[in-house]
Amino acid sequence: MTFLKKTDLKRLVTASLFCALICVATAALPIPLGNGGYANLGDTLIAACAFFVGPLWGFFAAGLGSALADLILGYGIYAPATFVIKGLMATVYILIFRRFSKTKAAVPMALVASVAAEAVMVGGYFVLECILYSPAGALPNITGNLIQAAVGIACSTVLVSLLSHNKNIMRHSGTDLGLVL
């Protein structure tokens, strides 16, 4: 008896690849925002990761890849919260998107799912920074997080909309997995 079924192994490998891609996309091209934070293309790959592996595997791949990038870039204090926030982003994204992925509303739902996921990011980091610094100290960082959110919304909506129009890709996506792994 094998440890993993073929489909589980495929999902594990795909999630692992996305974990690495998210880490690289986040750490390799950080765009400084002037407030100590940075924007990046990691959120685009978080949406794609969730699209291909579903909510649970997407949570761990997105969370781990993003947290590793924080460690690499010297934002270690953020890494535990980043793991949870980015993992929740992937989960929220795919749960909203998959609800409408087989309808003609897939493109608008990619936008809605991206906005909801990025709201998790902006809200999550605001709460974290309120705890770390104070509400007054966290308030200026909202602007940078909103800029990062706008980049993530635009890029992930385009990417997932393109992916969702290909029937072969849709067969291998996480949109038909129900609530399973």
Which range among 50-54, 116-120, 167-171 shows the weakest confidence by mean pLDDT?
167-171
Residue 155 burial (CB < 10 Å; 0-12/13-18/19+)? middle
Residue 153 lies in a domain: yes
**CATH number reported for the structural domain that contains residue 81 in this entry:** 1.10.1760.20
Residue 136 lies in a domain: yes
Q: Per-residue pLDDT tens for 32-77?
A: 876 666 788 999 999 999 988 999 999 999 999 999 999 999 999 9
Buried b (16+ CB within 10 A) or exposed e, 91-103: bbbbbbbbebbee
Residue 1 lies in a domain: no
pLDDT computed for residue 180 by the predictor: 37
Residue 2 lies in a domain: no
pLDDT computed for residue 1 by the predictor: 44
Residue 39 lies in a domain: yes
Contact 141, 35 (CB under 8 A): yes
Average pLDDT of the chain, as a whole number: 86
**Count of positions (residues) in the chain:** 181
C-alpha 50/C-alpha 143 separation (Å) is 26
| Domain coverage including residue 91 | 7-176
What is the number of structural domains in the chain? 1
Q: Per-residue pLDDT tens for 122-156?
A: 999 999 999 999 999 999 889 889 989 999 999 99
Residue 109's pLDDT band (cuts 50, 70, 90): confident
Residue 17 lies in a domain: yes
Residue 31 lies in a domain: yes
Contact 35, 145 (CB under 8 A): no
DSSP state string for 119-149: HHHHHHHHHHHHHHT-HHHHTTHHHHHHHHH
